[in-house]
Structure 1
């Protein structure tokens, strides 16, 4: 059996045939940093070979599900000298691996979203098979407001979950939706009162775990061919454009303004 609890920033607890994964950087609202990205990649890979797990719950510790990439870390590393190739490789390879791991993992994964799910955090939630969201939660793809192309899993997941025109609007603006509106547009299966979120998400996970695993996993694998085909169409282009904007002055300005709590000034370069 895999050691799912070997990563600092992800708590893991297996209860019978259900694995509960908790993003655990509550002091940073579970921003993806430390070993979280690496941990998610490795855990999803391990699950491909673990028949003792039939369903997975992904949630976040504290007040948020996940606020995305660690913007303060972006600002701290802005001065690090990398070649354009090294920067592109860093962004594209790790993001592409994580998307592929979500598509390939055989067990159904349920996301329970409370508080904030922003940027990469929204992508993590939407790459799960079922999303349950608190009514007062906030979800958004915040790449563009931080000066980045929304080119990773957001470009893949949002247009499949909601009307195409609405997906374009929310990806281009980074505007937030509350849980009720997210469920109305199709981003989430349902919105529930915050105090009921964990119980309802666990009920769905246990329901999925109790079903015939070959049938559930085969159905997921079949449907995920749509995701895989769409990923092959979009991901390389989107990630390369996103990686290019990591090098832009606008992104550096957005990260600095965030840390300094001021209004950014963008120059389109």
Structure 2
């Protein structure tokens, strides 16, 4: 069987592809979860990586959960005959993904190439920026199969589209197309399918052009702002600003602006 996650890197930008096109890239299977988590951790720990693009192989971004593994006690499935075991399966399984992405410092761009369904929709919401192909579709569809968003979708989706739209999507389970996703802020751009990765890479290049430490710390502030009050964010901002002022890249940025030349950042 092929690798569940493929990675291509040019040194600054990594493209991470969910690689189970025959099953529409579900993220609930153990091999996919472990590969995704280990790859994200490795890329986040690499100081040279400035941005990550996440996409899916084939026609789908991600179908979310594997329906064939939703019966009790299926090997590798989350559902057990004992409810307490199911709870632990979620905690030690799919719930590790939103926690891992939340804790990262490298920005993640979702290049949504096709349907993003259930946990696949939530995976897109875990990312910092979402660019959609014209063929993309989104559905917070857990109620359609009689379950709730066990991967954190009830927290993730309202953060992106607001409470009312999140309620509409989660309570109906209905699918929306790329145009509606753009209108509600679920994605920031729609592009033709053939241009999707080029557009995502262009966005990644714009991020990667900035000093790496400043980008990572800015991403951390943006993430923390969703769970901290203003005094707490101001304290954290001051602490991270002290680190940013001490970098060589900050001095280089100032010099380049004053000398009206292009900066050369070294990641120091």
**2:104: which partner in 1?**
105
Q: 1:17 aligns with which of 3, 12, 21?
A: 12
Partner SS state of residue 13, structure 1: strand
| Contact map agreement 1:161 1:186 (CA 8 A) in 2 | yes
Q: Deviations over 1:71-97 (max 9, x none)?
A: 012237469864221111001232332
The corresponding residue for 1:53 is: 49
The equivalent of 1:215 in structure 2 is 214
Are 2:29 and 1:30 aligned? no
Residues 1:64 and 2:60 are matched in the alignment: yes
Alpha-carbon distance between aligned partners in 1 of 2:19 and 2:172, rounded to the nearest angstrom = 28
How many equivalent pairs are there?
A: 224
> Is the 1:22–1:61 contact (alpha carbons within 8 Å) kept by the matching residues of 2?
yes
Q: Distance in 2 between matches of 1:37 and 1:228?
A: 26
User: Offset at 1:170?
Assistant: 0.4
Alignment of 1:123-134 (within 5 A): 123-134=122-133
* Alignment-derived partner of residue 238 in structure 2: none
Alignment partners' CA distance in 2, 1:43 and 1:81? 28
- Over residues 158-209 of structure 1, what are the superposed CA-to-partner deviations in whole Å (9 max), with x where a residue is unaligned? 1111231111110111111111110110011111122221111111112111
Provide structure 1 residue ranges, at least 5 long, that are not aligned to the other structure.
1-6, 231-269
CA drift at 1:67: 0.7
Q: In 2, distance between residues paired with 1:112 and 1:74?
A: 27
Structure 1 runs (4+) greater than 3 angstroms displaced: 75-82, 226-230
TM-score normalized with structure 2 length: 0.78
Secondary structure at 1:36 match in 2: helix
Return 5+ residue gaps in structure 2 as ranges: 230-268
Do residues 43 (structure 1) and 39 (structure 2) align?
yes
CA RMSD in angstroms, aligned pairs only = 2.1
Match in the other structure for 2:258: none
User: Partners in 1 of 2:80 and 2:179 — Cα distance?
Assistant: 44
Q: 1:201-240 counterparts in 2 under 5 A?
A: 201-228=200-227
TM-score (norm 1): 0.77
Q: What is aligned with 2:140? A: 141
Deviations 1:21-68 (A, max 9, x none): 000001111122251111122222223321121110101001011111
Structure 2 CA distance, aligned partners of 1:71 and 1:196?
A: 31
Change (3 A) 1:15 1:43: same
The 1-side partners of 2:155 and 2:34 are apart by: 21
Map Cα deviations across residues 227-250 of structure 1 (whole Å, 9 max, x no partner). 4569xxxxxxxxxxxxxxxxxxxx
Is the CA contact 2:90–2:150 (under 8 Å) kept in the aligned structure 1?
A: no
Contact 1:9 1:34 (8 Å CA) reproduced: no
> Which has the greater radius of gyration?
2
